[in-house]
């Protein structure tokens, strides 16, 4: 039987044609027409003024923090449940990621846990729209305003997600995206920073390109980075933007298939919910075993694996990983992360695949 992978990029539009165009015309570096075209298409998609492409989602995060002038010793609030790049980018600036617990229903940063972690050194908050469900941006905006903080959205997993009809990427002071091979929109490796702030956009472009003065070649007023995206990556990205509406619809349809197929397992599984007014884009359809079942999680995943179905555990919280370990308790993260499983979520899954996954889960849970 075919193995079902957890993620699988779909490159069924103009990706090949545009990449061949790069090769045929010799525009293979970070100069070339596809960069600006991809940036424009992505800005339009988010409903934001500026989009600045980077070579991956981690450098996009670092670039955004540099442009926001994050300094050594500064503190940045992040959720303890995220992919490690969020914490690492803060550390690259010599700043301190300050961890906050998450909400059980979305695994996103818990606004109620933020204020006790704010100090005079706090500069900003990085909410992560985990697995495609947006963070509570309204509550975060109020806290940020009260304390004079910026909000940087880590939207790496949430292309097209919405809060009150506004797309992520256009809500915080700026936002970053990833286009890694397993993300909703991919360029193989790639990233983007979006913002409505003209001055910030200028700084993003300056620091992305080694800090070179836009008016004077080989004159460098600051220490910058080479975080540029190649024309080849952008060519793939532009083709992806031409089909993104269909891609998002296919993920919605898949989530509905899972909801139906797993409905009879509700005694044993918590299925993903969506908060009112929010649009979840299901980068990963994530289920949780019931309370007290954390010790069974890995056995359930193993059982699926034996049936040819790849899954992933929910991220380990940052506070249990060696670089960020602390003894503070994060009760929701501690309890829920160990019970979470990401099911296969991609555009090639058929109703029969979903049936096979549901049947395998049912057998695993009955053991
Ligand atoms: C994927 C991801 C990143 C990093 O993106 P890369 O392109 O892999 O560098 C950052 N944050 C989150 C939440 C991610 O899922």
Which tens digit of pLDDT belongs to each residue from 11-23?
Answer: 999 999 999 999 9
Ligand 1 mean position, distance from CA 175 (Å) = 12
Dist. CA 183 → ligand 1 center (Å): 9
Task: Single out the residue of 147, 259, 237, 143 nearest to residue 189, CA to CA.
Answer: 237
Q: Which of 89, 128, 157 to mutate to test the pocket of ligand 1 (most atoms within 8 A of CB)?
A: 157
Atom of ligand 1 nearest to the CA of 183: 1
Query: Rounded CA gap, 1 and 147, in Å?
Result: 56
Assign domain 15-242 one CATH number from 3.20.20.70, 3.40.640.10, 3.30.70.380, 3.30.930.10: 3.40.640.10
pLDDT at 294: 87
Task: State the Cα angle at 82 between 80 and 83, rounded to 5°.
Answer: 135
What pLDDT is stored for residue 188 in this prediction?
A: 98
How far apart are the CA of 86 and the centre of ligand 1, in A? 8
| Neighbouring C-beta atoms of residue 70, cutoff 10 Å | 23
**Residue in 191, 140, 133 with CA at minimum distance from that of residue 162:** 133
The residues, ordered by sequence, that sit 6+ positions from 316 with a Cβ below 8 Å of its Cβ are: 337
Decide whether any atom of ligand 1 lies within 6 Å of the 55 Cβ.
no
Report the C-alpha gap between 258 and 210 in whole angstroms.
46
Mean pLDDT split into 10-residue runs, the chain, 367 residues: 94 98 96 97 98 98 98 98 98 98 97 96 98 98 98 98 98 98 98 98 98 95 98 98 98 98 95 97 97 92 98 97 95 95 98 98 94
Strand stretches in 187-332, DSSP E:
191-195, 269-270, 278-279, 285-289, 312-313
| pLDDT computed for residue 367 by the predictor | 84
State in Å: Cα 85 to ligand 1 middle. Answer: 6
Ordered by start, the domain boundaries in the chain are 15-242, 244-366
Helix spans in 173-227 (H): 198-208
Q: Does residue 178 have its Cβ closer than 6 Å to ligand 1?
A: yes
Ligand 1 centroid distance, CA of 265 (Å): 31
Write the CB contacts of 226 (distance below 8 Å, at least 6 apart in sequence): 208, 209, 210
Which position has the token pair 């009809």? Answer: 165
pTM: 0.98
Neighbours of 200 (CB within 10 A): 20
Closest protein CA for atom 6 of ligand 1: 57
User: Residue 103 in contact with residue 122, Cβ under 8 Å?
Assistant: no
Nearest-angstrom CA–CA distance, 157 and 129: 7
CATH number of 244-366: 3.90.1150.10
* Nearest one of 229, 127, 243 to 180, comparing CA atoms: 229
């Amino acid at each position: 039987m075919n193995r079902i992978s957890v993620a699988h990029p779909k490159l069924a539009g103009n990706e090949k044609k545009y990449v061949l165009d790069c090769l045929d015309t010799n525009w293979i570096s970070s100069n070339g027409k596809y960069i600006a075209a991809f940036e424009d298409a992505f800005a339009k998609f988010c409903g934001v003024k500026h989009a600045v492409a980077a070579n991956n989602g981690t450098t996009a995060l670092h670039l955004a923090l540099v442009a926001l002038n994050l300094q050594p010793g500064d503190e940045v609030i992040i959720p303890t449940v995220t992919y490690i790049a969020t914490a690492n980018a803060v550390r690259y600036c010599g700043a301190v990621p300050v961890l906050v617990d998450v909400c059980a229903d979305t695994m996103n940063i818990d606004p109620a846990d933020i204020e006790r972690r704010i100090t005079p050194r706090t500069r900003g908050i990085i909410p992560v729209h985990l697995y495609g469900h947006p963070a509570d941006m309204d509550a975060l905006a109020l806290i940020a305003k009260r304390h004079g903080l910026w909000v940087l959205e880590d939207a790496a997993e949430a292309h097209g997600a919405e809060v009150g009809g506004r797309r992520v990427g256009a809500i915080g002071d700026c936002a970053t995206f990833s286009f890694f091979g397993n993300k909703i929109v991919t360029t193989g490796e790639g990233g983007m920073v979006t913002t409505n702030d003209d001055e910030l956009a200028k700084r993003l472009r300056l620091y992305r390109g080694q800090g070179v003065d836009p008016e004077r070649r080989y004159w460098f007023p600051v220490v910058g980075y080479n975080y540029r995206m190649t024309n080849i990556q952008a060519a793939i990205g532009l083709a992806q933007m031409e089909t993104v509406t269909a891609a998002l619809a296919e993920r919605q349809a898949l989530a509905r298939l899972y909801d139906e197929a797993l409905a009879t397992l509700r005694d044993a599984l918590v299925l993903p919910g969506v908060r009112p007014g929010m649009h979840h884009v299901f980068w990963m359809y994530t289920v949780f075993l019931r309370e007290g079942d954390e010790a069974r999680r890995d056995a359930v995943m193993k059982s699926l694996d034996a049936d040819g179905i790849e899954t992933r555990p929910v991220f380990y919280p940052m506070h249990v990983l060696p670089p960020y370990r602390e003894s503070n308790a994060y009760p929701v993260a501690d309890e829920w992360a160990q019970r979470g499983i990401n099911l296969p979520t991609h555009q090639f899954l058929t109703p029969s695949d979903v049936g096979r996954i549901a049947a395998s889960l049912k057998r695993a849970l009955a053991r």
